[in-house]
Structure 1
């Protein structure tokens, strides 16, 4: 009878095929495409290479072999030693935890990683322990040692540089690796300690005006730390993205808008993207420039290019400001209206900061470079609406302004 005989070779092959497909599906489910850690696109890197390179510390495989970060590499090992002492975990246990995560973590990087299995596990453990101890030391200064160069009060620029480096697109570990290591090390103290995301929020929020609500801070569905930083800046109530794509056309620069009757006001909103135009008044939240602002904006917009083109808040934002600030005069206007705060820009080099603040050329160049990429397709209905309303107002009022100017000119000639 059929089905009662011994398993045939074809049946065996069938089972192997099913197993192979099942394993492939499992790999895809464990690491979706959206979880890939991508390199910065070449066209962005070519024009602003320095904005994407670490200054002090490398995290992850992209810059792991760089000799210029060797000094901090030794310091990271000191953090690992402190991590083991504070948690009272055995090194063997920590290695086992990372070993279980290693395959999944490696698949998160799109490019081939030039590290063997042991080297990759070591890198993940050292960089992961460093990140966790860095956040805890920032939260509790009593954990800081006297010889810790990162928190040296005589070198305040160091912590700023490290904070910058930890938010670079190519300087990341998958967040699930950090979170699993943190939970393994401090799981018994989670009632006393903040979550890892809360610690990260405190660390990055020290230099900027972050005002995210607690539920969003605790959203663990983030790819890495830069992804979390982007999430924390988004509006509490995000606009539903439109069904179709629209071309975001350039708007007139700030001085031309003012000449057409547009008034500029600083919005009281804490969200950068809460830009509105009503009854001839353009309300824009204050952007506080600090030494790391340019690097952050370039990296977070590169992230949106890679992952969030359908939800591009930062891309739309920098393009909008890039349209407004085309010359030094435009920059001066927005500074005067307190829409751009340059008090702490370029921070620790006071001479350079005063020079650049005086002529505003650097500020104009910064946002003018963003404005060059202002023609792109977006689904962000809020920014599109503001752009359209501004252009309609400008065309209408500029037309009547020219008519009045012409009439005044004729009247003067008659006199």
Structure 2
């Protein structure tokens, strides 16, 4: 039978409690100092699991993953390659008034604000040589470059796609385009881009677009105009997108609501709002249209 000196067990117990208390204090300091998004800034959240369970397919992107909200162990490689092809095309567009370095600087400066818009964030890493595309990397200052590349690739893909649709540009002969390689895929991609958890904040898309074309605004539509043109099928009003954005038209209040959208899901809600438009040909008549469509992710 072992003999213990009086008080030895109590001393050991006290030491363990001291270590435990220090560990708890360290954890509390870490939690207190962690960069969690403020509730009022967080606008892009995961869909409630109970709601998603009712119809998983309604909330699952088919082709294109946008933004850092969700964790994915693997992503569709052809789509991520297509984003880089569109990024290269965007950078080479006539009239683009910024370099790749300037776009990276813009995203770097906006990174804290971008991240604050998400409930949680995961960085995406693309190793095309090893055919490994993952979005499961916790954010840190050491791997910020992956976040910058992810945001730039996603944003450039969206802007370039919207420009091609707006200008009715065909697919370049030298380019293999994953988006248009089969009939109907563009409709699935359009649907992916308005899913509530598959978003970039509109402010960063506008910043990148304005950096590219802000020096020559008369020759380029606004980004909101581009976006509404892309989602025109969900614009259930008795006026066309083209007429809505004509200069000197009396629709400034409705356009202001569109400009205030936080992301594409929010933009589609606004496009569906009942609104009375003044008939341009009359000082007294007005016309309105009630929403006829409600997207499943709204």
**Could you list the runs of 5+ residues in structure 2 that have no partner in the other structure?**
1-34, 123-137, 245-250, 277-286
Unaligned segments of structure 1, at least 5 residues: 1-26, 238-267, 273-286, 289-295, 301-415
**Greater Cα radius of gyration, structure 1 or 2:** 1
Q: 3-state SS of the aligned residue for 1:125?
A: helix
State the shift of 1:141 in Å. 2.2
Corresponding residue SS for 1:149: coil
Query: Aligned equivalents of 2:225 and 2:107: distance in 1?
Result: 22
Offset at residue 235 of structure 1 (A): 1.1
In the alignment of these two chains, the number of paired residues is 220
Q: 2:116 is matched with which residue?
A: 107
2:297 corresponds to which residue? 299
Question: Aligned to 2:177, which of 148, 152, 163?
Answer: 148
Q: What is the 5 A alignment of 1:156-175?
A: 156-175=183-202
Which of 218, 223, 228 aligns to 2:267? It is 228
**1:271 corresponding residue in structure 2:** 290
* Residues 1:210 and 2:236 are matched in the alignment: yes
In the other structure, the counterpart of 2:74 is 67
Q: Deviations over 1:229-253 (max 9, x none)?
A: 101111116xxxxxxxxxxxxxxxx
How do residues 115-194 of structure 1 correspond to structure 2 at under 5 angstroms? 115=139, 116-142=143-169, 144-146=171-173, 147-152=176-181, 155-194=182-221
Equivalent residue, structure 1, for 2:91: 84
Q: Which has the higher contact order (CA 8 A, sep 6+)?
A: 2
Structure 2 counterparts to residues 6-405 of structure 1, below 5 A? 33=40, 35-63=42-70, 65=72, 67-86=74-93, 87=96, 89-113=98-122, 114-115=138-139, 116-142=143-169, 144-146=171-173, 147-152=176-181, 155-205=182-232, 207-211=233-237, 214-215=251-252, 216-218=254-256, 219-236=258-275, 270-272=289-291, 287=292, 297-300=295-298
Q: What TM-score does the superposition give when structure 2 sets the normalisation length?
A: 0.67
Regions of 4+ moved over 6 Å:
none
Cα deviation digits, residues 353-379 of structure 1 (max 9, x gap): xxxxxxxxxxxxxxxxxxxxxxxxxxx
Aligned residues of 2:41 and 2:116 also touching (Cα < 8 A): no
Q: CA RMSD in A?
A: 2.7
